[in-house]
Amino acid sequence: MLLIIFGVACSDKEEQDTLPELPPVEALLMDFSDFDDNPTEQEALNSLVEYTNFLYSYGTVSIWNILVTAPMILPVATYLESFNHTPVYLGDNTWQWSYSKTIGMNSYSARLVTQRISNDDFKVEMFVTQQEAFEDFKWFEGTVKYNRTHAEWTMYESPQNNVEWLDIEWNKDWEEEVSDITYTIVKSGHAEEGSYITFGIVDDVDYDAYYTISHSQKDTYIKWNTTSKTGRVKGEVNFGDANWHCWNELFQDVDCN
């Protein structure tokens, strides 16, 4: 009997040890915060200084912000809520977080399910239910490294249109504190199918953040300093050349060094 009890205890311990650590929300949600504020059109009109370079960057980033952020509010909010709850072990290397979340005037119930794929990777699925509207809709799924250095996600459009619309790839080096995340539109027939945006944090004194954007058959490259807010942009279709175009800490156009 003692051996049986000891064996059960060891088995429970092994199961507990397999509990995966979920990646941070930055593995799903791209950061657009440095381009939330911009010189207004009136300020630009009243000034002898131009804001062309930053405003072009702002506009290009804003298109993507509008395009992807609103549809992701609900699934990202339900994912964030999972960190406030304790999962239940279902057996077969599978864990489930179950909880409710109120967003705006609506209440949702959610199930976040993970399952071991290998010693390196585990699968994640997010199911959301809204009473009398939709039930157990799988909003996204993905594969995550146990060491939280890499994740790949597929985001589905909505309960009303259950199609793949966005692929997400995230990488993180925790020691170097560098990372990148890429959104790619994969919805078949979408006007911007195949377009993508990459946001990265790098170890660079001058420009420690960047966006690489492929959108509407043109490419744009943006780099900036997250502290000083100085930056530069390159877009051959917009500027008519392959040069960098810079702005200072006040978002005003300046010559690039």
pLDDT single digits (tens) 172-205: 999 999 999 999 999 999 888 999 999 999 999 9
Domain ranges in the chain are: 37-254
DSSP letter for 40, please: -
Task: Please report the pLDDT score of residue 47 as a whole number.
Answer: 59
Read off the pLDDT of each residue in 47-68 and give the average, rounded to a whole number: 88
Give the chain's mean pLDDT. 90
pLDDT per position as a tens digit, 115-143: 999 999 999 999 999 998 999 999 999 99
Distances (CA, A) of 174 to 43, 64, 161: 41, 27, 37
Return the residue matching tokens 């999962």: 87
For the cut 50, the answer to whether the pLDDT of residue 11 exceeds it is no
CB burial readout 92-128, b (16+ within 10 A) else e: ebbbebeeebeeeeeebbbbbbbebeeeeebbbebbb
Q: Which residues contact 205 (CB under 8 A, 6 or more apart)?
A: none
DSSP letter for 203, please: -
83-87, 101-105, 107-111, 209-213: which range is least confident on average?
Answer: 101-105
What band does 257 get if pLDDT is binned at 50, 70 and 90? confident
Instruction: Tell whether pTM > 0.85.
Output: yes
Read off the pLDDT of each residue in 45-58 and give the average, rounded to a whole number: 80
Task: Please report the pLDDT score of residue 4 as a whole number.
Answer: 43
Three-class secondary structure of residue 32 per DSSP: coil
Read off the pLDDT of each residue in 157-176 and give the average, rounded to a whole number: 97
Share of the chain above pLDDT 70, in %: 89
pLDDT per position as a tens digit, 94-103: 999 999 999 9
Task: Please report the pLDDT score of residue 6 as a whole number.
Answer: 38
Read off the pLDDT of each residue in 84-90 and give the average, rounded to a whole number: 96
Read off the pLDDT of each residue in 230-249 and give the average, rounded to a whole number: 96
Return the residue matching tokens 């996204």: 140
Q: Which residues contact 46 (CB under 8 A, 6 or more apart)?
A: none
Task: Please report the pLDDT score of residue 69 as a whole number.
Answer: 87
Bridge partners of residue 209, in order along the sequence: 201, 224
What band does 215 get if pLDDT is binned at 50, 70 and 90? confident
For the cut 80, the answer to whether the pLDDT of residue 38 exceeds it is no
Residue 184 has phi, psi (to 5 degrees) of: -130, 125
